[in-house]
Structure 1
Amino acid sequence: MFHRIPHRPLTDRQWAALRPYVERDAPQGRPMADLRHRMNGMFWLLTTDAPWREVPPEYGEAGTVARHFRRLTKAGVWEELLQALADLGPRHPLQSLRRVIFRGARRAYRMRGMGIIVLARRLKFLGALPGPAWMLPDPDLSKRLVALQMRHRENFGRFVLQWGRALRNLMGMVGGRAHIPRSLRLAMA
């Protein structure tokens, strides 16, 4: 198995820093058994391009680890971790998990949608984006473009003639690409 990021189990300091973000009760209200082991399994998978079924058995059943990832994603943990990385100092133990957290955010994009892209862009975490920044939608740019058009609405015809091509190109950037080739997505470490 090829690891894009070297995998090491969570240290005690890393686990102590990560635990408040991932420690959630099960839907039945029971505390989760061996949560640290599940997180190690999840992080093992995030360091590779492997599917969930290839999680090693020492981390538990692959379906259980995948289900826990989905629960954390639905609870917004990846967004919380991105915000924490932005707020915490450079020597904080979570910073050593930065690349793995970015890869988790990229995987969570399909479930969380545009919100995670907007957050990653605003925090300037381009590594957390699920593709190259120039191929992804930019909602903030669309707001600026609408504001620009509203300022020039009385002379809109002349404005479009003067800035038409640039506006068309910018509007294309706002919407992003419909399809990002898999080779480009996988090239992002």
Structure 2
Amino acid sequence: MSDRQWNAVHQILQEHKSLHKWRSRLDELRRRYDGIFYVLQTRCPWRCLSPAYGEYQYINNLYADDMAAGIMPLIVDALAQHGGPVLSLRVGVGTSAGAKSVEL
């Protein structure tokens, strides 16, 4: 994700989430959202996500939390408006090979 795209995502996160615990680790948070966008773009299972993004279970939970809070659609829209890919959100994505997804 470009700096411009990250700034748009970060602004949404500041408006909708408590980021106080991330102040000193924003690069880590950015890497985890890069992991989310990688999974959405490639449609790979969470368990196949490279450890370079962080622990896949944590990233999967971050995605699920943002979906439940209604934040992820805002993030995906902002990313697309700032030159990012158009991503399909996935619901019911698990770590097993048989997990099903539904595009929104």
Instruction: Tell whether the structures are fold-level matches, with TM greater than 0.5.
Output: yes
CA distance in 2, matches of 1:17, 1:56: 24
1:41 alignment partner, one of 25, 35, 45: 35
Rg larger for: 1
**Unmatched runs of 5 consecutive residues or more in structure 2:** 94-101
2:103 partner letter: P
Q: CA deviation at 1:17?
A: 1.3
Residue of structure 2 in register with 1:186 after alignment = none
Length, aligned pairs only: 90
Matches within 5 A, 1:30-179: 30-31=21-22, 33=25, 34-81=28-75, 92-93=81-82, 96-100=83-87, 103-104=88-89, 107-108=90-91, 110=92, 130=103
Residues 57 and 81 (structure 1 numbering): CA distance in 2 closer, same or farther, change over 3 Å? Answer: closer
CA distance in 1, matches of 2:48, 2:42: 10
RMSD: 2.9
1:19 and 2:10 matched: yes
Larger relative contact order, structure 1 or 2 (CA cutoff 8 Å, min sep 6)? 2
Q: CA deviation at 1:80?
A: 2.7
Q: TM-score, normalized by length of structure 1?
A: 0.40
Query: 1:22·1:72 contact (CA, 8 Å) conserved in 2?
Result: no
**Unmatched runs of 5 consecutive residues or more in structure 1:** 1-9, 112-128, 132-189
